[in-house]
């Protein structure tokens, strides 16, 4: 696999972290007639698609990293979770932190596949 192919595949897979859950959030919010939440889901889908296509990749990747860190701290505060939910919140907390690291790396290459074989 060429470096460019690996870069594009990695970018698309990372973008699924937003497009997939965003689509589910959007559909669930529409069923509940919660238009504000549906708009957030639509924004997540749009961000995922833009990441997949490489549009404004540096800034979008860095914004995604910030979003994931804030979400980890606010929505997955495992230190405040009840004991039966603590492991699940810990898992999601570190998943978000790890994804944030991947998006920071993606932003660091400024949308260009690193030179290599």
The reported pLDDT for the residue numbered 81 is: 95
| 116 pLDDT above the threshold of 80 | no
End-to-end CA distance of the chain: 9
The reported pLDDT for the residue numbered 1 is: 84
Could you read off the pLDDT of 19-64 as tens digits, one per residue? 999 999 999 999 999 999 999 999 999 999 999 999 999 999 999 9
Q: Where are the domains of the chain?
A: 3-108
Beta strands (DSSP E) in 11-80 are none
Could you read off the pLDDT of 77-95 as tens digits, one per residue? 999 999 999 999 999 999 9
The reported pLDDT for the residue numbered 111 is: 64
The reported pLDDT for the residue numbered 114 is: 67
Q: Which residue has the higher pLDDT, 51 or 114?
A: 51
User: Cβ of 3: how many Cβ atoms within 10 Å?
Assistant: 12
Rounded mean pLDDT, 1-30: 92
């Amino acid at each position: 696999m060429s470096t460019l192919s690996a870069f594009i595949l990695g970018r698309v897979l990372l973008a699924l972290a937003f497009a997939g859950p965003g689509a589910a959030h959007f559909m669930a919010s529409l069923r509940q007639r919660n238009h504000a939440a549906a708009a957030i889901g639509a924004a997540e889908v749009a961000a995922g698609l833009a990441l997949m296509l490489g549009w404004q990749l540096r800034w979008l990747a860095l914004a995604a990293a910030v979003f994931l860190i804030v979400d980890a701290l606010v929505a997955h505060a495992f230190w405040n979770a009840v004991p039966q939910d603590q492991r699940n919140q810990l898992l999601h907390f570190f998943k978000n932190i790890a994804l944030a690291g991947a998006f920071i790396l993606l932003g660091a290459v400024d949308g260009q596949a690193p030179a290599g074989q």
